[in-house]
A and B are shown apart, each in its own frame.
Chain A
Amino acid sequence: MAQMTPAELEEFQNLSDRYHADLPGPLIGEKLPMDVLVTEYAQADPTFVVKTAGLAATHSAYRAVKGDGQCGWRATVFSYFELLLHSGDPSLVQLEKIRFETFADTMTQIGMDYELLADMFDYTWQLFDKIAEAVQNKVPDDSIILNILNDENLSNSVVYHFKIVTSAYMQLHADDYEPFLEMPVDQYRVARIDPANQEIDQIGLQALTHAVISTAGFGLEVLYLDRSMGEEVTPHQFSHSTGDVPTIRLLYRPGHYDIIYKDTQPMQVFLQPQNSTMTHIEEPQGFSSVHDFLFSPATVSTGQTSSSYDAVFQPTSQYMQHTSYRNYYQPPPPTYTDMSWYAPPPHQQIPPPVSMPTEQTLPQQRSRPSVAHSASSRSVTISPPPPSAPATANEPMIRFSTSMYQHDVRHHQTAPAAHCTGRFLVPQTHHTIIATWGFSLISTGLVTTTMVELEFASAEPGIYTIIYSSYKHLLFRPRSELND
């Protein structure tokens, strides 16, 4: 074959860059059994065939994602909403929406023109609202998500929202990412994250996981279907998920992502004590290689000393029979320390909170919080049992849902400048705030969420920062009462 001139090569490169196959089918396909994928791959590379067959043994279903150049982004975004929809936890959905709204501040901090982009985010808010409604009504129909994410324009707007959130997050944590890029983070963002029509790469996927996925308490796992040795796909954990957190699973074959599902059949879940993850938040670790960084446990950048509540409220080992709530009884994902963006690193030029609540100024609850729990249209009022009391077969035991650990103080709806997460405003000295409290009753197998009122008796007006342990300080009684 004759050598091509640089001009010809350029021409071909341009053609290749501009080529977009006119692919059939929706952007996100229906959930299909794994056998379909195995059949589809029957004609493919023998390595793939063997590995795909192996996959069918461990995974139950897959969902084809259209290879339109954004499948990695779209697959992750879809799966995120799918996990929310099937979480059965309205407060988690609500919280996630608010968390996305607070990204407006993050974007503004790094100099993005949020106002200019804000109207593109309407579809994301709509999707959150529809999912919240569906979860509330207990009709988790996938078509809610499919309808929006299969409309190209709406879909790309939502995907772009996630991109810009990822981009802002990366910029805010530039020091974490810069060592693994060949260019400064701001250049990388402009080239690889911000463009509307760029596929996600590994660092982007890691940043998206840090910014959105693991902060929501979800895991992300990518199964690499490559030509490497062996008969099994190569899994990579993008989030440090231990135990059984709801996990997004993507199947990657060179250049393309699909969604894949693990067995959804009832299975027994054994809850591990999470002493280490709850009482110790790891210090930031140096990364020795790109690989370590990309596939490390989630990066950790804020630390919070533990309080005695840690020990008190640790989920203890519990053998749980009721399967449909297995996602809610797990210990908090260690990745919750990813919420470092709530407390921006000191080197960022961010207006500091007006004051930090100290032990003395912490809001005090008027009384032990009692939680109204509605089951089968009759209302039962229970108080959290003494945490050290062992659960017996007949005694209700309260467990705190995973999402609990993201539940921060939320303003009363009428209060101005509502911020659920990270920071909140106390506009006047005597101020009542509403906190979301999610909990589960194992004995009845019910999950519910309750609003708890907290009164700031002594807090000065101003902005307060919660360093991701708000529930310890704000939702629970003072230590002295607990020790009663």
Chain B
Amino acid sequence: MSNSRTSSRASGTGGSRTSKSSQSPLKRLTNEIADLRTTPNDSVLHLGPSTDSDLYHWEAVLKGPRDQSSPYAGGLWLLTLSILSNYPLSPPTVKFVTPICHANVHFQTGEICLTLLTSEHWAPSYTLSSVMSAIQQLLSDPGLDSPLNVDVANLMREDDAVGWESLVRYWTAERRWQGEGSAGWITERKPGTGGHFAHLRVTDVLMLSI
């Protein structure tokens, strides 16, 4: 873990400090940003606040799984993360902005069904970065118990691997995120906030076939 925060801890245990409820998430989020700089998350192209002035709204560009045999491989999706004032006691609300064809993601709303993101299972030791890793993991390992996209789930339940894979591959390529976030092009971001998009070009998309 980053050494830069060690000093803040020493003072943190020191005793009487005045802080309001609202300060906690900001400090925590600042820490998470600092951690992202030192240990970028490999499962995202980008992860950070949408704007510099509002730490409560983040956006992320999720990469498909590294496993090239996955129909999600090579995909890119834009997601939004909304953080409540009592974060990290409550989970962030994470949604796909880029449509994705996945059993546990609502195709229209982008809502994600992931155990870790429910209030019953969320633990403050998770971070926004670990959430993104978990979502990437979900791409490889969809759960069929509570599908949000029933069509995809049905294809999987009926073991229609060809139908499922072609559908997924189609949407992964067709709706691949095009490189623009609400705060502008991800390529314009400072390095270290999650990765660079500059070296990824159309050739990556062409790897995908339907």
Contact = CB atoms under 8 A, between A and B. Distances in A.
Contacts of B90: 196-197
B127 interface: yes
Contacts of B54: none
Contact of A118 (B12, B127, B146): B12
Nearest to A198: B120
Given A115-B1, A119-B27, A120-B24, A164 B125 contact: yes
A153 interface: yes
Contacts of A157: 24, 89
Contacts of B127: 116
Interface stretch (B13-21, B60-68, B175-183, B195-203): B13-21
Given A153-B21, A196-B90, A120 B15 contact: no
A184 interface: no
Contacts of A17: 118, 120
Contacts of A125: 12-17
Nearest to B27: A119
A160 B123 CA distance: 9
A126 B121 contact: no
B125 A104 contact: no
Interface residues of B, number: 36
Contact of A116 (B35, B85, B119): B35
Chain A interface SS verdict (over half): helix
Interface in A386-402: none
A113 B127 CA distance: 11
A300 to B, nearest CB: 30
Interface string A9-43: 01000100110000000000000000000000000
Contact of A117 (B19, B124, B145): B124
Given A115-B5, A119-B28, A152 B86 contact: yes
A153 B13 CA distance: 19
A263 interface: no
Interface string B111-146: 000000011111111010000000000000000011
Given A151-B21, A153-B21, A195-B120, A113 B88 contact: no
Interface in A146-171: 151-154, 156-157, 160, 164
A101 interface: yes
B16 A126 contact: yes
Interface in A85-139: 101, 104, 112-122, 125-126, 129
A191 interface: yes
Interface in B5-59: 5-6, 8-9, 12-17, 19, 21, 24, 27-28, 31-32, 35
A115 B145 contact: no
Interface string B82-93: 000110111000
Contacts of A258: none
A453 interface: no
A196 B31 contact: no
Most buried by A among B6, B85, B121: B121
Contact of A122 (B12, B118, B119, B146): B12
Interface of B: 1-2, 5-6, 8-9, 12-17, 19, 21, 24, 27-28, 31-32, 35, 85-86, 88-90, 118-125, 127, 145-146
28 contacts: A104-B13, A112-B125, A113-B1, A114-B9, A115-B9, A115-B31, A116-B1, A116-B125, A118-B8, A119-B12, A119-B28, A120-B28, A125-B12, A125-B15, A125-B16, A153-B21, A153-B85, A154-B21, A160-B89, A160-B124, A164-B124, A190-B123, A191-B121, A195-B120, A196-B89, A196-B123, A197-B120, A198-B120
